[in-house]
Amino acid sequence: MLFTAVAKQGPFTLAWREEPVNWIANRWFEHCRHFSQGPFKMLCATLEIEPVGADGQQCQVRYVLEVEAANLIGELILRTVFFKSTEKLLTRFINATVEFVRGERDAPFDAPPPEFDDAARQRIARAVEAINATPHAHDLAEALAKYATTGPEVDVVKIRPLALARRWDAPQRNVIEVCLEATRAGLLDLRWDILCPRCRVAKSISPGLDELPTGAHCGTCNIDYDRDFSRNVELSFQPAAGIRPVAFGEYCLFGPMSTPHIVAQVCVAAGATREIDASFATGHYVARTLEAGPEADFDYEDAGFPDILIGDGTVAVGEAADPDVLRLVNTSAHARNVVIEERAWEHDALTADRVTAMQAFRDLFSDQLLRPGDEVAIQRVTLMFTDLRGSTALYETIGDARAYGLVRDHFAFLTGIVREHDGAVVKTIGDAVMAAFVEPGHALAAALEIQQAVSEFNRSHAQVAGGDDVVAIKVGIHEGSCIAVTLNDRLDYFGTTVNMAARLEGQSRGGDIIVSTSLAEDPAVAALLAQRQVSEESAEFRGFDARVEFLRIDEAMHKAASGDQ
């Protein structure tokens, strides 16, 4: 696979064919261009990194630049200025990199921040003040404003809250919320990116969910792909245009600098086998070719990195081999660029399924809705239904006005706990609540806190209700796939998962929690269940053919055993 490009460099028009970069992450890379126009015929760069020292904390870097002139002008450039200017540039970059590694600078390259006039500085100050006046600031407004206004453009052109949280060592929810609030305050703009599943570059960008197409085409990878709220629709941010205009573009395609999720990209000749020194972290990987085609998912443990087998129209994973050797086998009739990528990149992507299940997003951006009639499949969501036990009797006992006030306070009580566990209240139906979470463990943790804190809620409302036992809350939780749609001016969920969660809540007696058996299989949920009194039960549910098994968590017994009141 070759790529062609044309560019203007000073007085010269350059045209070239570019070979895909070969590299092993943190080991080496090699990159060649073959020119058909301009002063040079060929330019190749090779970088090798070799660990040195007993502790392995230092390395030796070797950079080789090979250039072949195409004409007399090229010869003159090479003999006079080319290597001298390149050496000067590399020396400056290396010194800056050393300072960056030592923590003496924020970026490994020089990127002078933009200059702001008085009006822009006032807008920034007002935005920070507005953010700090909200519950979503988390003492991060000043840091976010500094990053958005002074950070290198290559970084701030796409601000990813989860990556920023790791950089700042701050809770993810706090950084997400401050970015959302900064958008409301005019400091940032938000956008929805549909990422290419191969190169991870956004090939479709929309300011609103209602403008999001159902798919996109990546001309670079030559593939069409569908949107997937759980995997490739990402919410990201950039400085607001009125604060700091930034330019968006793609540069240095298929290199390690633009595809950090790829740990190896190596060309293997037809019918050849390559064995390369390499070591990778354990985790989930995908093997494929740079050319459009099949791919193979696999998990790598400590036993040894598996052979990658490339055939005509096939990609397969072989037996585990040496953990420090990457073995690539190409039995096809053509040279193939073998790609191995890790899935850890997804950890930095704030996917649409996650952010739309956050309370701050639903509170601040209730206008971010899908087009009427548009349906989006959600691969996995955890839904919690709650309801008040005996609410009809409550209205009869204390009167409509006081009962309504109590129910409204109960909604605020639930919403606060749901938010603290990274969930969102989707809707209320009478006295019932439907909430959504991305992580099953967060949903159960929220439910446990609700049942633990309801006693304090009752004590604080005892005078209103005329007794201590004010409310008892019924809870049911289930996880699975569903459909997201816009209904009644909000994002809502529909499907079997929703129906099951509602039916499970119907089995609750109040003060307990009903969870599905599939939810109980989640590791985080299982760890919480191990600390509780749990009973296995089953029942027939309307709309479901087979008898449904579920688990009941008796929080009343847990409170009695632990001495809580």
pLDDT at 126 (0 to 100): 96
Q: Helices (DSSP H) in 151-233: which residue ranges?
A: 153-156, 161-168, 172-185
pLDDT at 467 (0 to 100): 60
Q: Which residues contact 494 (CB under 8 A, 6 or more apart)?
A: 482, 483, 485
pTM score, two decimals?
0.83
Query: How confident is the model over 313-329, as a mean pLDDT?
Result: 88
Q: Which residues contact 559 (CB under 8 A, 6 or more apart)?
A: 452, 455, 565
Tell me, what DSSP letter sits at residue 301?
A: -
* Site of tokens 């070799």: 50
Q: Structural domain boundaries of the chain?
A: 3-101, 118-254, 262-347, 362-562
> Rounded to 5, what percent of the chain is helix, strand, coil?
35, 35, 35
362-562 domain in CATH 3.40.50.261? no
pLDDT at 109 (0 to 100): 76
Q: Tell me: pLDDT of 254 over 60.
A: yes
Say how far apart CA 142 and CA 205 lie, in whole Å.
28
Q: Which helix (H) or strand (E) holds 441?
A: helix 440-460
Count of Cβ atoms closer than 10 Å to residue 139 Cβ = 10
pLDDT at 275 (0 to 100): 93
In the structure, what pLDDT confidence band is assigned to residue 466 with cuts at 50, 70 and 90? low
**How far, CA to CA in Å, does 463 sit from each of 115, 406, 457, 466, 467?**
60, 11, 12, 5, 7
Say how far apart CA 34 and CA 16 lie, in whole Å.
5
Please indicate whether residue 400 or residue 204 has the higher confidence score (pLDDT). 204
Q: Are strands 188-195 and 233-239 parallel, antiparallel or unpaired?
A: antiparallel
Q: Tell me: pLDDT of 118 over 80.
A: yes
pLDDT at 400 (0 to 100): 81
For all residues of the chain together, what is the average pLDDT? Answer: 90
pLDDT at 522 (0 to 100): 95
Q: Which residues contact 11 (CB under 8 A, 6 or more apart)?
A: none
pLDDT at 459 (0 to 100): 84
Query: How confident is the model over 464-468, as a mean pLDDT?
Result: 61
Say how far apart CA 182 and CA 239 lie, in whole Å.
10
Q: Is 316 exposed, middle or buried (0-12, 13-18, 19+ CB in 10 A)?
A: middle
Query: How confident is the model over 238-247, as a mean pLDDT?
Result: 90
Count of Cβ atoms closer than 10 Å to residue 271 Cβ = 12
pLDDT at 117 (0 to 100): 87
Return the structure tokens found at 390: 């005996």
Q: Tell me: pLDDT of 115 over 80.
A: yes
Return the structure tokens found at 193: 């990116």
Q: Which residues contact 141 (CB under 8 A, 6 or more apart)?
A: 128, 131, 132, 178, 181, 182
pLDDT at 187 (0 to 100): 97
pLDDT per residue over 257-314, tens digit each? 778 889 999 999 999 999 998 888 888 899 999 888 889 999 888 778 899 999 998 9
Q: Helices (DSSP H) in 461-522: which residue ranges?
A: 462-465, 496-506, 517-520
Query: How confident is the model over 348-367, as a mean pLDDT?
Result: 94
Query: How confident is the model over 498-526, as a mean pLDDT?
Result: 96
pLDDT per residue over 139-190, tens digit each? 999 999 999 999 888 889 999 999 999 999 999 999 999 999 999 999 999 9
pLDDT per residue over 401-430, tens digit each? 888 888 899 999 999 999 999 999 999 998
